[in-house]
Structure 1
Amino acid sequence: MRLCMLIPRPGWRTRRTAWWMLALCLLPVQQAAAQAASAEMLKAEVIYRALMFVTWPAGREAAGRSLPVCTLGEGRVETALQALQGRPIRHLSVEVRRLAKLDQAVHCQLLYVSTPTPMPALKAALADAPVLVVSDASAMLDHGAMINLQIEDGRIVFDVELDATRRAGLDISTKLLRLARFVRHQQPAS
């Protein structure tokens, strides 16, 4: 007789995924030498797991069998994101692309920006296209990023700009929003 039998329940996989994501976000980054590489790999994994909780407009997600994850700039996180190539997200497969120009980002579903990019340039290039903009550059939430990753007290944390995601037609699950350190959202005037 098995005592450690796991009985699937409705919502079991979603809860398990949320717990794994929470554990990943709260993992401390240990040694100084390994910290940079580990932090970049963890950021890439957080980005991958966040993709599971984002829904794009129906036409955008059904457009192909790949989910284009694009990077702008050169850095350790961009290199770490290459490890996501081919990993599944729902019925899609992650396709990592390096962009030479910001105006190519309209063909992506996620754009990772490592260097601060002025908001007018991001707005002009994307024009509220359904592209999830993620960054780890300081204060990028104020300059067009929708999710901003940071290391705080040795842990990876993230902030979300909810209004920007909604303007782009993206739906972020409340499961992901509950894990965020900060969710920026303007309350509608009554």
Structure 2
Amino acid sequence: MHRPPSSSANHGLRRLAGWALLCAAALCGQQALLPAARADNAATSPVLERRVKAAFLYKFLGYAEFPPGAFADAASPVMIGVIGADELAAELGRIVSGRIVGNRPILVRVLRESELGTPVHLLFIAGYDSARVGRMVRAAGNALLVVTECDGGLQLGSAINFRIVDERVRFDVALDAAERNGIKLSSRLLTVANRVQKGAQQ
């Protein structure tokens, strides 16, 4: 029978969640971008892992320079698409509410697999089934910056792939995947990446 976590465990998780989100918020700091956000055994703390990843997705926008043709006009919003993670999309929506990046508002849209190809600036594809994720990455089409979370995500074509390293949410970056879509990633972001892939790998 499932036992609810104790009040002390809940307190510890809330305290750790707050700390992890502060670490993710450090992505916009002037000195250290990110002491890697601890997920406290993310396999058993999905809520915390989701919150940290949502915070990262928002912060990634501030370190990605999109090509001039990525926006219809000066007032066009930055669009984030999320597929396979409705709760994360809701969390991300709360984070970006009222915020701007590059003088543009940010909108979050939940997408279904049938909607892949919808033009978005950042697309997060959730899930750990590499075959399924690879199929969706190939179908992403008009998505400029693709973020995944499965094993071998960069080899599947994503530009950023979340990983859990030593119980911390980290991310790998593939510069070639970003550059193919005209995205320039800040060196400050690369500095705190777990790994940076500078060329296509087979």
The answer to whether 1:180 aligns with 2:190 is no
> Residue 36 of structure 1 corresponds to which residue in structure 2?
46
User: How far, CA to CA, are the matches of 2:34 and 2:95 in structure 1?
Assistant: 19
1:22-171 correspondence to structure 2 within 5 Å: 22-23=34-35, 26-30=36-40, 35-61=45-71, 63=73, 64-74=75-85, 76-86=87-97, 87-101=99-113, 103-115=115-127, 116=130, 117-119=132-134, 121-126=136-141, 129=142, 131-171=144-184
User: How far, CA to CA, are the matches of 1:88 and 1:76 in structure 2?
Assistant: 22
Consecutive unaligned residues in structure 1, runs of 5 or more: 1-13
Equivalent position amino acid for 2:138 in 1: K
Q: Is the 8 A contact 2:147 2:159 kept in 1?
A: yes
Q: CA RMSD in A?
A: 2.8
User: How far, CA to CA, are the matches of 1:32 and 1:41 in structure 2?
Assistant: 11
Equivalent position amino acid for 2:76 in 1: R
Q: Is the 8 A contact 2:122 2:146 kept in 1?
A: yes
User: How far, CA to CA, are the matches of 1:165 and 1:109 in structure 2?
Assistant: 11
Given the two structures, how large is their TM-score scaled by the length of structure 1? 0.76
Given the two structures, how large is their TM-score scaled by the length of structure 2? 0.72
Equivalenced residue count is 170
Q: CA deviation at 1:67?
A: 0.7
Q: Is the 8 A contact 1:71 1:111 kept in 2?
A: yes
User: How far, CA to CA, are the matches of 2:40 and 2:87 in structure 1?
Assistant: 18
SS at match of 1:49: helix
Which whole-Å deviations, capped at 9, do the CAs of 1:52-104 have from their partners, x for residues lacking one?
00011112146343110001113543342222343221201110001123554
Structure 1 residues 21 and 83: CA distance shift in structure 2, 3 A: farther
> Residue 11 of structure 1 corresponds to which residue in structure 2?
none
Structure 1 residues 52 and 102: CA distance shift in structure 2, 3 A: farther
User: How far, CA to CA, are the matches of 2:42 and 2:146 in structure 1?
Assistant: 29
Between stretches 100-109 and 30-39, larger displacement belongs to 30-39
Q: Is the 8 A contact 1:57 1:130 kept in 2?
A: no
User: How far, CA to CA, are the matches of 1:123 and 1:107 in structure 2?
Assistant: 14
SS at match of 2:188: helix
Consecutive unaligned residues in structure 2, runs of 5 or more: 1-25
Q: Is the 8 A contact 1:102 1:125 kept in 2?
A: no
Q: Is the 8 A contact 2:78 2:106 kept in 1?
A: yes
User: How far, CA to CA, are the matches of 1:138 and 1:100 in structure 2?
Assistant: 22
Q: Is the 8 A contact 2:83 2:126 kept in 1?
A: yes
Q: Is the 8 A contact 1:108 1:131 kept in 2?
A: yes
